[in-house]
Amino acid sequence: MAEIARSAIPEIGKQELRSVAEYLERAAEFEGMAESAGVDVLKKRYADIAACYRLLAKDREWLIGTGAIEQHAGDRGPAISR
């Protein structure tokens, strides 16, 4: 398997993701990495990570809609239905 430069992988643990917008931005970053990856295994892994961030955004919207958590700047309007 090809070696991956450590600098090519986004630093995930450096800041806490708090808003739906931030989760969606991160999903878009990983989708871009999936599209540009030259190794099929990496394409799949990055696409899977992007899907996880989209799921986190969806769950956060739902939690905001139920009142379980507070809405932060960057969170979208009304929650989506489940």
Q: What is the pTM of this model?
A: 0.70
Angle at which helix 20-36 crosses helix 40-66, to 10 degrees, equals 170
pLDDT band at 7 (very low <50, low <70, confident <90, very high): low
- The per-residue pLDDT for range 12-59, each reduced to its tens digit, is 555 565 799 999 999 999 999 999 999 999 999 999 999 999 999 999
Mean of pLDDT values over 2-18: 57
How far is 63 from 16, CA to CA, in rounded Å?
17
Domain boundaries, the chain: 18-66
Is residue 10 packed enough to be buried (19+ CB in 10 Å), middle (13-18) or exposed (0-12)?
A: exposed
- 82 has pLDDT over 80: no
pLDDT band at 81 (very low <50, low <70, confident <90, very high): very low
